[in-house]
Chains A and B, each alone.
Chain A
Amino acid sequence: MQEQAAGDKGLIFNLQRFSIQDGPGIRTTVFFKGCPLRCPWCSNPESIRPHPEILSRDIKCIRCGKCVEVCDQKAANISAQPRIILRDKCDSCMACAEACPAHAIERTGEYKTVDEIIKVVLKDLSLYQRTGGGLTLSGGEPLMQAQFAASLLRPAKHANMHTALDTTGFAEWPALAEVLRHTDLVLYDLKQIDDLKHLQATGISNQLILKNLRRIMAETRVAVWIRIPVIPGFNDTEGDIRSICEFVQQLPRQPEKISLLPFHKFGAAKYIALGKIYPWNDAVLIPDQQMESFKRMVESCGFSADIGA
């Protein structure tokens, strides 16, 4: 790692325009790289590590050997078919990504300034205004770069954009509170009320997450959408969903809605591109009827609910 995230730069792995799933209206979503959780079902595995990495896609490889030429660590090996990257040797120096003419090896994670990002975000300003859309910070976990997140939201608010934060909720309160000062809507992930299950699956306790949500409801007026990723074998029972609803019911203020996000495997190939094994590859998708019945249950608890994507 030659570069470090400085205060005036953030580590971003994607800037997605025309996002329509991350809050109201047409939006631009900025994906922060780095996440404190280790959810094994994660659909954005490139979002986890807080530094740039390489993605390597065999199908694009033209076997020109440029990666082998530039790799000091001898991590690239083209004598194999398909070409392989020895990940334990790779030091993420990015030389191969820069050399690869076919973009078969690509860098994921760029250090960008607020200005660089805002310039892109502003390009669709008129569409945000037409649709009540704006800027969403997502990840990874934006709060791992809370200072940068806040400095990104500030000019967005100045431009009269609707702002949203998509978060795991795992952050120190002062950092979260600072970001919320510039946020209109929080998309707050609740995965599991049973702390042990939460800890076992994601590597962290849910106590801070639950506490932060309570404080958001008590101490701020920011709009909240709760999002429950429904994961097979982790929280896909009625009991799991019900206990989340019961927790939310006890909060000092209610969210605008609860979204159920069905587990999917769209990220599987990205694990391969990262040289990783996808732990949730064999999981069985949750049938639509099951999702519908969860939705009805959430509604029966008095919430407005939808099934997201």
Chain B
Amino acid sequence: MSEEMQELRGIPSAQKSSDAAPHEWGFGSTPRTAMLRANLKWKAAVVKDFINVVIGLAKCAFRRGEQIRVDLDRARLITESYKQTDGQPWVIRGAKAFAHLCANFPPYIKPGELIVGDPNSAPDELRWHPEISAHFMPEAVTKGGFSKMVTDAERDEIVNDICGYWNGRCVADRIKAIIPHEVCPDILQGLATPIEAKLWEMGIVNPSYDYPALLREGIGPRIAKAERKLKELDEKALGMPPAEYLEKKNNWQAMAMSGRAIIRFSQRYAELARNMAGKESDPARRQELEQMAEILDRVPAQPARTLHEAIQFFWIIEVAAKFLAVYGHGGGHRIDKILFPFYQADLKAGRITREKALELLECLFLKIQEVGIALEWPVTFTGKAGGEIFYTLNICGSDQDGKDMSNELSRLVLEAMGNLHINQPPIAILYHPNIDPEIVDCGIDLLRKGMGHPAWFNEQLLEKWAMLRGYSFEDAKQTQVGGCVTNHITGKFQITTGAAGVGGMILPKVLEEALYEGGSQANPKRPDRPKTKDPREMKSCDELVDAFMERVLFYCKEMKLSWDLAQDVLTNTYPDPCNSLLLDEPLDRGVDIKKLHKEHDTYPAVFILGMITVADSLAAIHHLVFDKKKYAMDQLITALKANWKGYEAMRQEFIHAPKYGNDDDYADAWAEKFATRFEQTISTVKDAWNCRLVSDGGTAAGYQTVGLACGASPDGRLAGSHLTDGSRSPMAGADKNGPTAVLNSAAKIPFMHTELFNQRFMPAFLEGRNKKLFAAYLQEWYEKGTIPHIQFNIVDSSVLIDAQQHPEKYADLQVRVAGYSAFWIDLPKGTQDSIIARTVHGF
């Protein structure tokens, strides 16, 4: 998350850390991609200030005066269509709205582009989804973070025409209307409570298709299949229950309509390319545009034959089905496996060179970079700091026999990212024992560039995760990383309903309640909350964990109710015919993908925030209150309530209490115990479809946002400061024994769910002979066998420069520059300068 951290600190990311481009013409393997890269619009915003932290209203600014605007086209077209279809079946309304979009959404092609398609109508705009959630937008464009992103007329249209229509009609409003507030009063309270259960307000959908099959067949046969099914259905109509007949009929009709819409969308791009070719004076570009037109005429209706066709096929489907039809995020495609056969065939036929393939791949990545996040609440920009769209692409991995699947395309993917220095798409390497060491080497080279790519995933644990969720061995083999660290099983039903999980749980806030509201201190306004023991009467830290878990259970039950009801609304009133068409089972059965989701796996995930903040807090309480008996619980509670003000010496002792991440069993045992107890507790709750609640470590940059809403914690943290990042990362700066100690600590927590684990390294550790050592470190990580994910923050000069200017913030930053470590604050300015200089020289 290095770039995100930089963004948060207001330091421009990525390319800043390495001013020298890899090629004389810039970032990109060819002048074409370098030009496209140079003209990119940067859509990652930094939240400057909160207007209302509880509802997530914030002021935000884009990078270096980048003028990004609210895209009205998508919202306007969707609204137009829905206004006309009132009263029709939801699935038909969805398909018609999508068709209206595909027929009218403005396409554009930038000079030099080879791969086209954008869910925004212009490169400097960001789309949004009023049909999912509209309530935040009027405020956001009036006084919130988006107010400078619209003209007065546009603001008026958004507030009155678009949101005016969707107010009370959008998915979120429909769900809100049925939540029984007396029974689950915390659901709509935002960051004022320990849970953020309104994930349906974001409407995230992460479908992943069987691309090898789609590319082989084209979507034409799928449309034909839907039409054939309709005909067969009519023939059987007499013998069928009317409800089933209607459902299938509507679904297949909607699917066929959606498929034709995608083809229309692609053809409109073909028309644009042909028009532009007609006006193009440069013969080379004219030829390119003509070729693009031919390709876009062909795919995705018909099978792809070449690498260029395959990439364009892939991208037009992603734009239409994932970003325009629904609020799609990542998909988790194994891009190297998908594209390799086309590359190989092209090479064999002499149609392509390695350089050309690399350029095409770079063209695709540049399109992905420019998609940007759809506008949600402005607070989104902190939660997804850095403009993360979780569009993870997977490479490597193994086949059924354990054979390495990495190929030349995997290498090209790594190379393309290294050339471009962009943050999207995140690259995930599926690591396994037989992985080609040369690919690992390429991965380390990419890491060395300091962009945070690639992240590394333990393939075996991904598969284990799938099997724990009840998937077959064969399906489990198709597991890959889709979202942040969330897994997907290609062609199956992970996160397709529009709610990515039951909600986020801000664990330090639960701890606050356990500490402040125990026994006679119970909150009189909330008699429904569990009555837990007064911490002042507790004899051990275990009792505090018990009280904590009682409260966790309480919130899980609230979240479960909200989830069950929301899922019902989503399934019945927000079907997804477009994605149903692209998956086999919905198409074969005439059942919407959201309904099938429930037959397979609803994945009621609890996104855990501040896991290690609480583990460290427990270790500190155990150490100073129960073990050493240096402070009474009452003193601690008083100090916490005062945000440690007036208790600085005491706070220092809590800061210096044993912390997770130092390979010290004293502290690590609390992380292990707490994580395990938490999972046991939440898994006792099942949703309406018999799926048990499960943790997900994919908290993105949420640890920073929700930290703002958290009070002081017993690990010495001050109120409002960030929590621990990830779910297995030690608190920043708390790990003092180096990366092997952190790894050992993290490995002590058993594998139970997806996790996010950040590590920080100095660039020098990835260079020269050290590369071999780093590869061994990765191997060690894999063989620990309990940590599903690891990613590296290669500390670069911008962080060090900030550390130089604000040493008080970095009292514990260690730089291991020479043969020994040094605390940054211990280094004289001249030396700091030399280290900063040396780091930059490395690039």
Contact = CB atoms under 8 A, between A and B. Distances in A.
| A and B: bona fide binding partners | yes
Interface of A: 14, 16-22, 25-26, 29, 31, 43-44, 57, 59-60, 62, 64, 66, 101-103, 123-124, 126-127, 130-131, 133, 261, 264-266, 268-270, 273, 285, 308-309
24 contacts: A16-B738, A17-B737, A17-B738, A18-B740, A18-B816, A19-B820, A20-B765, A26-B740, A31-B820, A43-B820, A62-B648, A64-B649, A101-B649, A101-B651, A101-B652, A126-B783, A127-B740, A264-B818, A264-B831, A265-B828, A266-B817, A270-B826, A273-B826, A309-B819
A276 B651 CA distance: 30
B468 interface: no
B831 A265 contact: yes
Given A20-B770, A130-B780, A265 B830 contact: yes
A265 B817 CA distance: 12
Given A16-B820, A17-B740, A101 B825 contact: no
B24 interface: no
Contacts of A64: 648-649, 652
Interface in B619-668: 648-653, 656, 663
Interface stretch (B197-205, B298-306, B569-577, B771-779): B771-779
A-B residue pairs, 5 tightest by C-beta:
A21-B819, A101-B652, A18-B738, A269-B826, A102-B652
B663 A309 contact: no
A18 B780 CA distance: 13
A131 B772 CA distance: 8
A131 B776 CA distance: 7
Contacts of B88: none
A63 to B, nearest CB: 9
A62 B826 CA distance: 17
Contact of A127 (B652, B777, B834): B777
A66 B826 CA distance: 23
Nearest to A124: B740
Given A18-B738, A20-B765, A124-B740, A59 B825 contact: yes
Contacts of A60: 811, 825
Contacts of B783: 126
A224 B734 CA distance: 37
**Secondary structure dominating the interface of B:** helix
Interface in B713-755: 737-741, 744
Q: How big is chain B's contact interface, by range?
A: 35 or more
A31 B819 CA distance: 12
B22 interface: no
Contacts of B826: 57, 269-270, 273
B474 interface: no
Interface string B510-547: 00000000000000000000000000000000000000
B820 A131 contact: no
Contact of B827 (A17, A269, A308): A269
Nearest to A44: B820
Contacts of B822: 266
Contact of B656 (A18, A31, A101, A269): A101
Given A130-B776, A131-B772, A270-B826, A308 B819 contact: yes
B218 interface: no
Contact of B663 (A29, A123, A268): A123
Contact of A266 (B663, B765, B818): B818
A47 to B, nearest CB: 10
Interface in B800-843: 807-808, 811, 816-822, 825-828, 830-831, 834
Nearest to A100: B652
A21 B773 CA distance: 12
A13 to B, nearest CB: 11
Interface in B438-494: none
B818 A269 contact: no
A245 B40 CA distance: 56
Contact of B773 (A22, A25, A265, A270): A25
A266 B652 contact: no
B738 A127 contact: no
B664 to A, nearest CB: 10
A131 B765 CA distance: 14
B811 A59 contact: yes
